Amino acid sequence: MLDRFLYYVIVMPLSHMPLWYIYLITDFFYLIIYHIKPYRKRVVMENIQRSFPEKTAEEHQQIARKFYGYFTDLLAESTKNLAISEKGMKKRLVVRNPEIMDQLYEQGKSVIFLSSHFNNWEPLITAQNLLFPHQAFGIGTPLSSKFWDKKINDRRERFGMKVTNAKNYKKALSSFTEKPSATLVLGDQSPGKNENCYWTNFLHQETAFFFGAEVMANQMDMAVVYGSIYRVKRGYYEIELRLITDQPKKEEYGVITEKYIRILEDDIREHPESWLWSHKRWKKDVPENLDEIKATHKKRFVERFR
């Protein structure tokens, strides 16, 4: 009952308000979660300190302060995203070099479209089918609340995006044959079992990453494109595309995932306030038998795909 009240009485009516009005509310919220009752302050500061050991304590605090400003803007923009029109979406999210996706489409090539929780990823999820000629798919893990999961995904799909469960994405993609597809994967959150992760040094620390995108690319012979989301000004973003590979089966183990990670790392270093530092990204302990896990992971991939 509470979920329905929040959605129909607060969230959706608010999403129809002008964005400047929503910013007024989230600006006040910023004062609360940064100054009065800090939101996940310990997680945020530990993540920043570990990622930038070369910076001073004052610089760490500055990144944190800017992050909370970005975070509350993210809340405002994600709320507006639930009701924004197609015209408004195209005005606020622009692709710098769409020819990369256009050329792959003309070649009949489906794509793994990689991105991350850097700047605002919600407009990309909603607008992907408007931005590129490929049919947009999004792979996600269902929310714990079935009500919110359905409502959020309904809003994300209103311009043509097809959201599919991570457990049955193979069936959804293989059964769609109308035209080339582009499957969006946000691969920078903390993954599952150690033995299924790709481990590498990221922001000065050993870090586990999802390996699913590289597996999918090899399974289905899909090109891999990375989309960096850059903030132009408040509420306005541009996407810069980078082709990671259009021949995944010719790439050595880990190359696709490493290229993704290094682009993300460069983006974070350039604009450190714009990544989701409140997420418990390094909650996994580094396993004692890490070298063995890495070797086994590589061996399984090579035996399967090479």
Using alpha carbons only, give the angle 287, 293, 297 rounded to the nearest 5 degrees: 145
Instruction: Label residue 137 left, alpha or beta by phi (over 0 means left) and psi (-120 to 50 means alpha).
Output: beta
Residues 182-192, mean pLDDT to the nearest whole number? 89
pLDDT per position as a tens digit, 24-74: 999 999 999 999 999 999 999 999 999 999 999 999 999 999 999 999 999
pLDDT at 170: 77
Question: What is the rounded distance in angstroms from the CA atom of residue 64 to the CA atom of residue 112?
Answer: 32
Instruction: Show me where the domains of the chain are located.
Output: 2-305
Question: What is the rounded distance in angstroms from the CA atom of residue 144 to the CA atom of residue 216?
Answer: 26
pLDDT bin (cut points 50, 70, 90) of residue 11 is: very high
Q: Say if CB 147 and CB 186 are below 8 A apart.
A: no
pLDDT per position as a tens digit, 122-171: 999 999 999 999 999 998 778 888 899 899 999 999 999 999 887 777 77
pLDDT at 140: 77
Residues 184-188, mean pLDDT to the nearest whole number? 91
Q: What is the H or E stretch that residue 138 is in?
A: strand 135-140
Q: Say if CB 111 and CB 104 are below 8 A apart.
A: yes
Q: Reply yes or no on whether the pLDDT at 86 is more than 90.
A: yes
pLDDT per position as a tens digit, 226-284: 999 999 999 999 999 999 999 999 999 999 999 999 999 999 999 999 999 999 999 88
Q: CA-based Rg of the chain, rounded to a whole angstrom? A: 20
Using alpha carbons only, give the angle 202, 113, 118 rounded to the nearest 5 degrees: 45
* Six-digit token string for 53: 């050991």
pLDDT at 242: 97
pLDDT at 175: 77
* Six-digit token string for 23: 């910013």
State the burial class of residue 106 (Cβ atoms within 10 Å of its Cβ: 0-12, 13-18, 19+).
Answer: exposed
Q: Reply yes or no on whether the pLDDT at 194 is more than 90.
A: no
pLDDT at 70: 97
What value does the mean pLDDT of the chain take? 94
Question: What is the rounded distance in angstroms from the CA atom of residue 23 to the CA atom of residue 12?
Answer: 15
Residues 173-179, mean pLDDT to the nearest whole number? 82
Q: Reply yes or no on whether the pLDDT at 83 is more than 80.
A: yes
pLDDT bin (cut points 50, 70, 90) of residue 192 is: confident
pLDDT bin (cut points 50, 70, 90) of residue 3 is: confident
pLDDT at 72: 97
Question: What is the rounded distance in angstroms from the CA atom of residue 162 to the CA atom of residue 154?
Answer: 9
Question: What is the rounded distance in angstroms from the CA atom of residue 98 to the CA atom of residue 107?
Answer: 15
Is pTM beyond 0.85? Reply is: yes
Closest CA to 239 of 98, 34, 43: 98
Alpha carbon separation from 152 to 49, 148, 188, 221 (Å, rounded): 34, 6, 21, 30
Cα distance between the two ends of the chain: 53
